[in-house]
Structure 1
Amino acid sequence: MPTQPDVQRIFLAVREQPFIGPLRLGETRRSIHPWWKGVNAIVCQQAFRDADTAFANWKSAGRRGVSVGYPRPKRPGRCRDSFRMFSVRLVAEDLRHVRIGGERGGQPAFTVRLHRPARRLARLLARGGVTKSVTIARDGHRWSASFNVRIAARPAARPSRRQQEAGWIGVDLGVAVFAALSDPLIVGDDKLQLIANPRHLDNTQRQLRRWQRRMARRHQKGVPAHRQSNGWRQARDQVARLQALVAARRGSAQHLLAKRLVTQYAHIAVEDLRVKNMTASARGDALNPGRNVRAKAGLNRAVLDVGFGEIRRQIEYKAAWHGATVTAVNPAYTSQTCNRCGHTDGKSRRTRDLFACTRCNHTTHADIGAAINIRDRAQQMTGEPLAGGVRSEGATR
C-alpha cells in the first residue's frame, strides 16, 4: 500500500505527462488532467496525507481495539467541500483581505476579500502567534477560512468570584425541553431553569422538503452531477443553503448555552450520554423487522437536531478557558428519582413534565428534578457536600 510520499512522487511525475494515444483530426496534444495546473500542489499533498492517515488508522484498528471501517473516498455532492493550505496570510494593515500564495507553474497568487474583519486573528498574530494551516470550506453557498494558529500556552484559568459563589449546576438535555437546569441561568434580564427547544430543523423542514422533492423530480437517473440540468443544480444549491442555515442556527444556540454555563458557574454536571446508541435505527432486518420505525426515526432526528454530544464537547473545551470544571455522571433513573428523598419509582413521573414522588409526595418539574439529581450525583462523585447537607429542593409547580 503506497504511503503519502510515494503517492506524492507519482503525482508529481504524472501531472505533467501528456495524453498518450491517437489524436482526432485537428486536436492538439494535452495533459491527462489539465485542471491539475490550476490547483495548488499543497492541497493535493494534504489530501494524500489524509488518505495515508485513514489507511493507517484502518490497519491499526485491531491492535488498538477500536472499530474503524475501510477508508471511503469522498464523493462529489456527498461530502463537505474543503481543503487545507499553508501559504495564506493577512494583507498588511488590512483586516478585510487575505493573500493566498501561488506556486511555480501552477495556481497563481490572488487576494480574497473577507465578509467581516479578522480582528481576532490579527490579535493572535500580534501576540506572537504563528499560522500553521488554513482550512477553506464551503457551507451551502458561503465559503469560510479557518486559521489554525499556534500560540504560547497560557497559565491555567481560575474561576472568578462570581463562578465560585454560584458553585454547581446540573444540566439535563432533552428534546421537548432544550435544557433543564438545577439552578437559574441568567439569560438577558431573565433567570431561567427551562430553556425551550428552538427546533431549528422543524422550522425549516417545510421549505427543505419542497426543494428536496423538486430536486428529486429534476434528477436524471444515470447522469452524473456535472451533467444534470440547471434546474436540478438550482434545487441542489437551495437545499444546501437551507441545510447550512439550520446548522448555523443550531451551532449558535449551542455556543450561547455553553458560554453562559461556563461563565456563570464553577462546576457543571452533565449526563454521560451514548448518543450513538440513542440514535440507532429501529429498522431491523427481514426476519426481525423493527417496531415503530417512523416514530423512532423522528426521535432520532430530534435528538441529533439538539446535538447532545456537541453541547457537551463545547462545554468541556470552553470550561478550560474560564476555569470551570465539568463532571459527567451516569444518566440512569435521574428523571425517576425524587430529588428530595431519593426514592426511585417510574410511577412518580405522572406525565412528561410532572413528577410527583410516590413516597413523600414531593412535586416538581420532571426535567428540573432530573437536573438536580445530576448535580447531586456529580457532587457525590467528587466528594463535595450536598447543598445544606441534604438533597436540595427543586422548583415546585
Structure 2
Amino acid sequence: MRADAGRKYRAYPTGGQGEVLTRWGHSARALWNVALEQRVYLWEQRRYTLRSVEQCKYLTAARADLDWIGDLPAQSGQQILRQLDRAYDNFWNPEHPARFPSRKKRGHRLSVPFPGQAVEVRKVNRKWAEVRLPKVGWLRFRLSRAIGGTIRNATVSRDGSGWHVSFGVHTGRKPDAPNGKPACGVDFGVAASAFVSTEATPRLMPPSLTANEKKRLKALEQRKARQITYAKKHQGGKYSRRLRTTIAQIARLTTLRANRRRDFTHKLTTDLAKNHGLIGIEDLRVRNMSKSAKGTAESPGKNVRAKAALNRSILDNTPGERRRRLEYKTRMYGSVLVAVPPFHTSQTCAACGLVDPESRKGCGRLFACTRCEHVDDADHNASVEIEARARRTGGSDINSTRSIPRVRVPAVGRRRMREAPRPAHAS
C-alpha cells in the first residue's frame, strides 16, 4: 500500500521542539552526504553497488560511535537511506529526468523524514491537530484540510516561512473515467504564461514579487555578498548573527515568491484537467532552454545578462512543473495529456499549415500568415497548432499520457480558422 497523495500543513513547534528539529535537520543532511559518499567510493574503488539494506547495518554501528547520528531517530536515518535508494533508481531509469544524486549543501532546506509506522496523528478540534514524533512528542499543526487516507510517511521541514509537516497518504482513489469534454492546446510562454486554444485571451501569472519586494530582495542579496566577504577576510568564514539574519530575510522573500508561483500553477493545471478531455502541450526541454550563455567575469561572452534574464523568466513560469502536475491531475479527472514536438509551432499557420518564419517577423506578438493572410495572436496561433498535433497523435487513445517521438509532424489537416473566413484570393 503505497502513498498516492500528499498533504502539507503548517506546523507550530515549541521552542524546544524547534531546536531539536533544527539539529536533526542538519544531521539528516550530513547523513545523506556521508551515505552518498560511501556508495560513490565503493563503486569507484571496487565496482560494488551498496544499497540501504546493507547500509542500515553500518548505520546501527555508527549510532553507537557518533553522538550526532545517535541523536537522530533510527527510523529517520533508515528513511534517508531508502530515499537515497529511490534517488539512484530514478537516475538509472532512462524514462526519468533525474540526474545523479547530489550532495546537500548547508543552505539546503531542512527536513526530517519519518516512516508512517513511527508517527501518530490525533485531531484536537476542527482547525487543529497534533502529530506524535519519536523523541519530540506531540507537534501541533494547522488542520487546513482533512488527511483523507492512511498515512504512509511523514516529513517535517522548514523553509523561509516556518515549519511544515507533510504526509504521504494512501487514499485508494482510482483514475476517473474519460470525462468526454472538449480538447484544447496550451502554449506555455514568458510574455503569456499560458494561452489556451479555446480562449481569446491569455492567462497571465501575477508577478511573483512586487516592485518593492524585488528592490528589497536585491538590496538584501547585495548586503549578503558584502557580509560574506567580510566574514571570509576577518572571521575565518564564520557567519555572524547579522549575516544569518540577512539570510533569513532573503529566505522569507524567496519562499513568498515560490508560494505565489505554486498557487497559480495549481489553479491553472486543475482548471485545465477538469474542463478538458484532451490537453496538448509542447514537449519542451526546459534544461536546454535555460542554459546560461557562455562567458565569465574575466572573458565575458555575448548577451550573457540578457540570457540570464530570459532564464529567470522561463524558470519563473515553471513549464516543467506545470507538465508534472498535469500528468497526475489528468488521470484524476478523466482527461488525457499529450506532449507534442515543439518544432515550428510558433511559425506554423494554424489555418493553412504553412511553415514560414516571415509569418512572425521579429518574434513579435502578431502572427500574419504570408500565404492565406490569417492574422492572430502568435501564442494563440501556436496553441491551436498544438491542439491539432495532439488530436492527431493522442486523440485516439484516451488513456494515453505518453510523449510522442520528437520528429517533425507534417503540416497537413490543420484546423480551419476560428474567427475570419479565408479570403477568396487565397484559394
What is the letter of the counterpart of residue 314 of structure 1?
R
Aligned residues: 348
Matched, 1:89 2:120: yes
Offset of residue 393 of structure 1: 2.0
Paired residue for 1:345, among 353, 356, 364? Answer: 356
Paired residue for 2:375, among 346, 363, 366? Answer: 363
Q: Is 2:388–2:414's contact at 8 Å kept on the other side of the alignment?
A: no
Paired residue for 2:109, among 60, 80, 86? Answer: 80
Tell me which residue corresponds to 1:119: 145
Distance 2:98 2:138 in 1: 40
Matched, 1:110 2:134: no
- Three-state SS of the structure 1 residue aligned to 2:389 is helix
Tell me which residue corresponds to 2:282: 271
Matched, 1:180 2:195: yes
Q: Is 2:190–2:313's contact at 8 Å kept on the other side of the alignment?
A: yes
What is the letter of the counterpart of residue 365 of structure 1?
D
Matched, 1:12 2:31: no
Distance 1:158 1:322 in 2: 8
Kindly, what percent of the aligned residue pairs are identical? 34
Tell me which structure has the larger Cα radius of gyration.
Answer: 1
Q: How large is the RMSD of aligned CA atoms in angstroms?
A: 3.0
Matched, 1:196 2:227: no
Tell me which residue corresponds to 2:176: 157
Tell me which residue corresponds to 1:321: 332
Offset of residue 91 of structure 1: 1.3
Q: Is 1:170–1:181's contact at 8 Å kept on the other side of the alignment?
A: yes
Matched, 1:139 2:159: yes
What is the letter of the counterpart of residue 381 of structure 1?
T
Matched, 1:306 2:317: yes
Tell me which residue corresponds to 2:385: 373
Q: Is 1:182–1:372's contact at 8 Å kept on the other side of the alignment?
A: yes
Q: Is 1:368–1:394's contact at 8 Å kept on the other side of the alignment?
A: no
Tell me which residue corresponds to 1:26: none
Distance 2:185 2:97 in 1: 32
Offset of residue 369 of structure 1: 0.7
What is the letter of the counterpart of residue 191 of structure 2?
A
Paired residue for 2:133, among 101, 120, 134? Answer: 101
Distance 1:10 1:90 in 2: 31
- Per the alignment, do residues 83 and 341 of structure 1 end up closer, same or farther by CA in structure 2, a change over 3 Å counting? same
Q: What per-residue deviation string (whole Å, max 9, x for no partner) do you get for residues 115-144 of structure 1?
A: x325320xx2xxxx3211102222213121
Q: Is 2:352–2:416's contact at 8 Å kept on the other side of the alignment?
A: no
- Per the alignment, do residues 152 and 50 of structure 1 end up closer, same or farther by CA in structure 2, a change over 3 Å counting? closer
Distance 1:360 1:12 in 2: 73
Distance 2:296 2:89 in 1: 33
Q: What per-residue deviation string (whole Å, max 9, x for no partner) do you get for residues 7-30 of structure 1?
A: 43334334344xxxxxxxxxxxxx
Offset of residue 249 of structure 1: 0.5
Please report the TM-score for the alignment, with normalisation by the length of structure 1: 0.78
Distance 2:392 2:297 in 1: 47
Distance 2:272 2:98 in 1: 34
Tell me which residue corresponds to 1:169: 184
Greater RCO (CA < 8 Å, at least 6 residues apart): 2
Distance 1:394 1:224 in 2: 67
Offset of residue 55 of structure 1: 6.1
- Per the alignment, do residues 249 and 285 of structure 1 end up closer, same or farther by CA in structure 2, a change over 3 Å counting? closer
- Per the alignment, do residues 305 and 65 of structure 1 end up closer, same or farther by CA in structure 2, a change over 3 Å counting? closer
Offset of residue 206 of structure 1: 2.0
Offset of residue 69 of structure 1: 6.5
Paired residue for 2:308, among 281, 293, 297? Answer: 297
Of 301-310 and 86-95, deviating more is: 86-95
What is the letter of the counterpart of residue 291 of structure 2?
A
Distance 1:260 1:110 in 2: 40
Structure 1 regions of 5+ residues with no counterpart? Answer: 18-31, 185-191
Distance 1:300 1:244 in 2: 19
- Three-state SS of the structure 1 residue aligned to 2:308 is helix
What is the letter of the counterpart of residue 152 of structure 1?
G
Structure 2 regions of 5+ residues with no counterpart? Answer: 1-41, 43-49, 397-412, 421-427
Distance 1:382 1:56 in 2: 29
What is the letter of the counterpart of residue 216 of structure 1?
A
Q: Is 1:179–1:195's contact at 8 Å kept on the other side of the alignment?
A: yes
What is the letter of the counterpart of residue 122 of structure 2?
V
Please report the TM-score for the alignment, with normalisation by the length of structure 2: 0.73
